[in-house]
Chain A
Amino acid sequence: MAAPATALVVLCLVLPVSATITATFYAGGGPFDLYAAFLASGFRRSVLWRTLEISLITTALSLVIGFFTAYAISRTPPRWRSVLIILAVFPLLTGVVVRSFAWLIILGRNGILNDFLVWIGIEGAPFTMVFTKGSVIVAMVYLFVPLMVLTIVGVLENIPDDVIEAAQSLGASPTQTFRQVIFPLAVPGLIVGAVLVFTGSFNSYATPQLLGGDQQMMMGTFLYQRAMVAFDWDGATTVSAIMVAVTLAVVIGMTRVAKHLNPMTT
């Protein structure tokens, strides 16, 4: 019964993606020539480093913002809790393009923020904010905080009330309970959230395209540029292979770590 779905995934996902990756080993003179060429180019290296840097910063900021927000949500009375969850789901289900575009209105040269800065008479305003690393990071954090919040809320709600009560009955103050019980039990959720956000940022396209442009090229935008603008398919397959490798490495590696840390599974 699972055969049609299996066939589709194998034929239209596993094979084409494998073909893309395999192609990188045959296109150059030696199997790793394309990768050597990629790493030899200062520009390409900078794209990779920038992507890693932006993804890491986005992940770190989303973790901090997401965790405290999720903690606040999980301690809110049930009626308000569902309102807060709904408000977090709304941006999540609103498209990436719409959400990135919103930041273009805010951060643009004639955007709201600059209007405001000019109005209050800030020296040097308006500033150039779009096409900077900062604007990409802000929009990415905006993109991924809801995902982080929902992931961590799920984990926090799975912590049984009686475990928290047990800590209290044994004399742990709210702060001690948080540090010694709640936070350690939330760590596996933080890892899952971090993986989702990191891989999401690393592979993003619309946000770096709209807010980063050519100045802040990331792996996603670079892949598009290689394939559809420069028609450099060797370059595009190499970028694809690196993206897949980094994604799988992060997912598999962090799943291992989470499994190692997660005491609930025996």
Chain B
Amino acid sequence: MTTPLTLRNLTAHYGATKVLDDLSLDVGAGELVALLGASGCGKTTTLRLVAGFLQPTAGTIHLGATDLTRLVAHKRNIGLVFQNYALFPHLTVRDNVAFGLKQRGLSGAERGSRAGEMLERVGLSALAGRLPGALSGGQRQRVALARALVIEPPLLMFDEPLSNLDAKLRVEMRVEIRELQRANQTTAIFVTHDQEEAFSISDRVAIMEAGRIRQFDRPETLYSRPANAFVARFVGFENLIPLTVTARDAGRITAEGEGGIDMTLLEDDLGPIPDRFILATRPDGLRVLYGGHGIPARIGLRTYVGRAYHYQAETPAGNLVASGPLGQPREHGETARLVPEPEQCSILPPEAAA
């Protein structure tokens, strides 16, 4: 049972505040999509709209051919996993898992056997008779997962499900969730603020900010080719250097930036370059060299990051973070040139004056 989810032009308000702004999103059948962003970006609002706990002020929600937009929450048939698990504290593990089946009018025997099977799949058969209060965080998470899966929903949604677990368990549960979702071919939405989690678990990631999706793509693309400055910063491009083209010569571009810096770039390496653009690199994409044609810099604080040193560098274009090899540590106050590595750079449109 695989069904696509389609969100069209969703707008939502809390009182007078607009929290979701004309958001559209297509989640393919059987696909797992992560909604990623800082708190207040609208990711949880989106989830609550789809779940039916909030009503949009405009827009539609379709699951396959069914219009969910005005359907009451308890008729939507969506499996939800909550951040705090939201287990029923007065019901045993088995009854928690069977709860959704009971609402669907299944007989006691049927409920028992289906809940039992599901508990077996998540490895909790031995704890079926316990109350949630007697379980560890990871066990509660598994019960919550089993409870959402057992109703065989066409759509699964996860609201920061791993944020209350310790680091090791988080990675384990991530794999477990992904395997269960793959095995059932269930369409899924995964809300998180953790970039690593979003990238590792999902087919595609929607990076959100201020009630909009800033980029919706495969993790690999987001990581290497962010589409705008916001996403670039989000995925770790610490150096964003605004530049203006001064000369074009058969794909060889000369550009100038703040503080009189200038550099030469090749469209062969970087793709087409507009007249005004931002050159974005991670620290590893900006090399500290003694000479050559680069951005003049004064070396500041050096930090050891394992495979290299990172340097805080003061330049005419502002403070940048560059990297240098372990063999040749630079000292505080030295002068150097910072040279971007073309294959590790992204060309971004200039930021709108906000």
A and B touch in the complex (CB under 8 A): yes
Q: What residues of chain A have their CB less than 8 Å away from a CB belonging to chain B?
A: 160, 162-163, 165-174, 176-177, 180-181, 184-185, 263-266
The 4 A-B pairs of least Cβ separation, nearest first, read A170-B100, A266-B133, A171-B103, A162-B86
Q: How large is the interface on B (under 10, 10 to 19, 20 to 34, 35 or more residues)?
A: 20 to 34
**Could you jot down 15 A-B contacts, CB within 8 Å?**
A160-B86, A162-B86, A163-B86, A165-B53, A166-B82, A166-B147, A170-B74, A170-B151, A171-B100, A171-B104, A174-B74, A181-B88, A181-B90, A184-B90, A263-B90
- In the bound complex, how far is the Cα of B189 from the Cα of A67, in angstroms? 38
- Find out whether the CB atom of B90 lies under 8 angstroms from the CB atom of A166: no
- In the bound complex, how far is the Cα of B90 from the Cα of A185, in angstroms? 7
- In the bound complex, how far is the Cα of B151 from the Cα of A173, in angstroms? 15
Residues of A close to B77: CB separation below 8 A: 171
Residues of B close to A160: CB separation below 8 A: 84, 86
Residues of A close to B53: CB separation below 8 A: 165, 168
A interface footprint on B115-158 (CB within 8 Å = 1, 0 otherwise) = 00000000000000001111000000000000110010000000
A163-B86, A163-B88, A176-B103 known; A168 and B131 CB under 8 Å? no
B76 close to chain A: CB less than 8 A: yes
A162-B84, A180-B99 known; A169 and B74 CB under 8 Å? yes
Closest to A184 in B: B90
A interface footprint on B305-348 (CB within 8 Å = 1, 0 otherwise) = 00000000000000000000000000000000000000000000
Q: What residues of chain B have their CB less than 8 Å away from a CB belonging to chain A?
A: 51-53, 73-80, 82-84, 86-91, 99-100, 102-104, 131-134, 147-148, 151
- Say how far A180's CB is from chain B's closest CB, in angstroms: 7
Residues of A close to B134: CB separation below 8 A: 266
Residues of A close to B88: CB separation below 8 A: 163, 166-167, 181
- In the bound complex, how far is the Cα of B52 from the Cα of A171, in angstroms? 12
- Find out whether the CB atom of A165 lies under 8 angstroms from the CB atom of B133: no
- Find out whether the CB atom of A185 lies under 8 angstroms from the CB atom of B89: yes
Closest to A173 in B: B74
Residues of B close to A173: CB separation below 8 A: 74, 103
Most chain A CB within 10 A, of B89, B102, B104, is at: B89
Most chain B CB within 10 A, of A166, A176, A185, A265, is at: A166
Residues of B close to A176: CB separation below 8 A: 74, 103
- Say how far B134's CB is from chain A's closest CB, in angstroms: 6
Closest to B76 in A: A169
- Find out whether the CB atom of B89 lies under 8 angstroms from the CB atom of A165: no
Residues of B close to A163: CB separation below 8 A: 86-89
Closest to B159 in A: A162
Residues of A close to B133: CB separation below 8 A: 263-266
- In the bound complex, how far is the Cα of B83 from the Cα of A163, in angstroms? 11
Most chain A CB within 10 A, of B52, B99, B133, is at: B99
- In the bound complex, how far is the Cα of B86 from the Cα of A266, in angstroms? 16
Residues of A close to B80: CB separation below 8 A: 165-166, 169
- In the bound complex, how far is the Cα of B132 from the Cα of A265, in angstroms? 10
Residues of A close to B79: CB separation below 8 A: 169
- Say how far B245's CB is from chain A's closest CB, in angstroms: 53
A163-B86, A264-B133 known; A170 and B73 CB under 8 Å? no
- Find out whether the CB atom of A171 lies under 8 angstroms from the CB atom of B74: yes
- Say how far A258's CB is from chain B's closest CB, in angstroms: 13
- Say how far B53's CB is from chain A's closest CB, in angstroms: 6
- In the bound complex, how far is the Cα of B87 from the Cα of A136, in angstroms? 44
Closest to A165 in B: B53
- Say how far A2's CB is from chain B's closest CB, in angstroms: 31
Residues of A close to B89: CB separation below 8 A: 163, 185, 263-264
Residues of B close to A266: CB separation below 8 A: 131, 133-134
- Find out whether the CB atom of A165 lies under 8 angstroms from the CB atom of B100: no
- Say how far B82's CB is from chain A's closest CB, in angstroms: 5
- Find out whether the CB atom of A168 lies under 8 angstroms from the CB atom of B100: no
A170-B147, A181-B88, A264-B89 known; A165 and B51 CB under 8 Å? yes
- Say how far B163's CB is from chain A's closest CB, in angstroms: 13
- Say how far B220's CB is from chain A's closest CB, in angstroms: 32
Closest to B83 in A: A162
Residue of B52, B91, B99, B147 near A172 (CB, 8 A) is B99
Residues of B close to A166: CB separation below 8 A: 80, 82, 86-88, 147
Closest to B52 in A: A168
- Find out whether the CB atom of A165 lies under 8 angstroms from the CB atom of B82: yes
Residue of B83, B84, B90, B99 near A170 (CB, 8 A) is B99
New A-B pairs, 4, CB < 8 Å, besides A168-B73, A169-B79, A170-B99: A167-B99, A170-B151, A171-B151, A266-B134
- In the bound complex, how far is the Cα of B78 from the Cα of A173, in angstroms? 14
- Find out whether the CB atom of A162 lies under 8 angstroms from the CB atom of B99: no
- Say how far B16's CB is from chain A's closest CB, in angstroms: 16
Closest to B144 in A: A166
- Find out whether the CB atom of B90 lies under 8 angstroms from the CB atom of A169: no
Residues of A close to B82: CB separation below 8 A: 162, 165-166
Residues of A close to B103: CB separation below 8 A: 170-173, 176
Residues of B close to A167: CB separation below 8 A: 74, 88, 99
Residues of A close to B84: CB separation below 8 A: 160, 162
- In the bound complex, how far is the Cα of B133 from the Cα of A184, in angstroms? 16
